[in-house]
Amino acid sequence: MTKPDLASPQPPSGNDQGFDVLVIGGGAAGLYAALSIPAQWRIGLVTKDTLSISASDWAQGGIAAAIGADDRVSLHVADTLVAGAGLCDPAAVEHLASRAAPCIERLVDLGVAFDRTEGQLAMTLEAAHSRRRVLHAADTTGRAIVSILAEAVLKRPNITVFESAFALELWMVEGRCQGALVAYRQQLQWLSAQATVLATGGGGQVYAQTTNPAASTGDGVAMAWRAGAQLRDLEFVQFHPTSLAKTGAPPFLISEAVRGEGAHLVDDRGYRFAFDYHPDGELAPRDVVSRAIFHHLQKTGDAHVWLDLRSIPPDRIQYRFPNILRVCRTWGCDPLQEPVPVSPAAHYWMGGITTDLHSQTTLAGLYAVGENASTGVHGANRLASNSLLECLVYGAELANLPLTKKRYVAQTVGDRAVLAVDDATLTWVQQNGEQALAAIHQQRSQLNQLMWEAAAISRTQSGLEAAIAALQPQRTQWQQHPLQALHRLSPGQTYQLPEALSWPLVRAWGELCNLHAIAWLILHSAAFRTESRGGHFRQDYAETRSEWQVHTVVEGDRWQKSSPLQAP
């Protein structure tokens, strides 16, 4: 498939900066949300990279939908509730599963080429699913979906795309969101909108080992937190059990579907150890398999375990997993001939911005869809292949946004200010620009390692408190940093950035600020929940406790429990 022309349509020029809806994020959630909004409304879509680079684009396994002859919505709901370990919202799960079929039909109508068997949509089995209900397009399902959605977006004249643009802050007026501050083409622009949709994905880049792309820095959650939105369940991070663990290679995700097709997990001695930790072995929920690998490596002292695909017929591997086969061979490992070295890596963030069934946050005018939202679907542990479905089902809810016929345009848009920062900040940037970028990258690396050691697969109170103590002085330093001037610009203006304040520096600065916020939120949330459940495991509180069958609710710097939830 040819790559869509990402240079068209062109963003507006001059002072025409008002939209009916501003969508921040160019993955499946943002794209599908933009396409779901009626074409009568003017939409601005902001993406940090290009429309084809997102965690959705990296999704391999597929998208779950109970559309098979032997399947039912009630079974999909039941599987999701079990995986969520008591923290799913049953109404949200029912909403997800019951609306899957129309979303799949729309994707097919748009041209998504799902795999088929004898003319029918092919479906495979993944961990913790009771039926074969995962649709796929080889092992690049996310890419197949996102590329088609991107093409559709670029054909819509009512959608204006801002590529290589970075949203720094939400525009809040008396508790209502009316747009965002966006760095774009060496300018800082306040883009106004009746409704703003956050679809920025997860925050996996806060960890040293992650399957997420570089852009997954928790931007939406961090901006919403600073704006005063309620957040929920931020301690629940899913670590994918099987990422490539080859020296020099990135932690490339090897899909759950590989184990669904029959691959085995073995240790250096060839022993299938996963059954020692759960009766379902390799097909237990992801958190269980990740912990099984973690604890087994602690026991054996090995650096990684092995994923053996040789029990799957070679022609089946070549048909279902061509991309996995290609990447592994690129790094000197042929799955057809030998086991693949694997270990866990941060993969998906169950927590996020609290939303209702219509993707509305606790702030007027602000909506959230996709991984940066906490819809109540995933609970403490996401069921495999529910994430792409969630993007579609909850993105579709934006078809009913309460918009007025008259588009809101900022009342104070004036001439472009030449400088976006004061003289002292400008002088600092001119003297320290290159060194500042290097320092940001170094501090990001240190933050990644801190989080991997303190708040990854296995956590303790002492480790969490030590990490919080280490972050506190850095947090104070960042609040006093000269580049904080970017976050204090007068709303309604368009600012020309000085040449010394380059796009890479603005993005690096903004991402590090957001990652610090995400680390702070995860650490405090993990310390607050004194039990183990789903993706949150505490060595010092290893049991699941009934009094903790509640959401962790975050507002500002306050952590509290929600009302008790009903058992699934």
The string of DSSP letters for 130-159 reads SS--EE-STT-HHHHHHHHHHHHHHT-TTE
> Structure tokens of 395?
């993105």
What is the C-alpha separation between 531 and 543, in angstroms, rounded? 6
To 5 degrees, how large is the angle CA 153–CA 349–CA 320? 65
Which residues, other chains included, contact 299 with Cβ-Cβ below 8 Å and sequence gap of 6+? none
The answer to whether the CB of 117 falls within 8 A of the CB of 274 is no
CA distance 90 to 106: 25
The CA distance from 387 to 347, in Å, is: 11
Whose tokens are 């509290």? That residue is 560
- 511, with CB counted inside 10 A (0-12, 13-18, 19+), is buried
Q: Which of 442, 422, 441 is CA-nearest to residue 501?
A: 422
Q: 247 by DSSP, 3-state: which?
A: coil
Q: Would you say 346 and 204 are in contact if contact means Cβ atoms under 8 Å apart?
A: yes
Q: Does residue 211 contact residue 204 with C-beta atoms inside 8 Å? A: yes
Residue 132 designated active-site: no
**How far is residue 384's CA from residue 263's CA, in Å, rounded to a whole number?**
16
Instruction: Round to whole Å and give the CA distance between 178 and 411.
Output: 12
Q: How far is CA 282 from CA 129, 275, 278, 491, 534, in A?
A: 13, 7, 8, 53, 16
Residue carrying structure tokens 């960890």: 207
Catalytic residue among 143, 232, 259, 286: 286
Handedness of CA 392, 510, 45, 6 (dihedral sign): negative
User: What is the identity of the amino acid at 159?
Assistant: I
Q: Which helix or strand (DSSP H or E) is residue 393 part of? A: helix 387-396
- Which residue shows structure tokens 């650096």? 303
Euclidean distance between CA atoms 381 and 351, whole angstroms: 10
Cβ-proximal residues to 335 (8 Å cutoff; 6+ apart), any chain? 307, 309, 310, 317, 321, 324, 325, 328
Q: Which two tokens stand for residue 34?
A: 């933009």
Q: What is the residue whose two structure tokens read 């918009």?
A: 403
Give me Rg for the CA atoms of the chain.
23
Write the burial class of residue 266 (CB in 10 Å: 0-12 exposed, 13-18 middle, 19+ buried): middle
Other beta carbons less than 10 A from residue 129's beta carbon? 26
Q: Which residues are catalytic?
A: 286
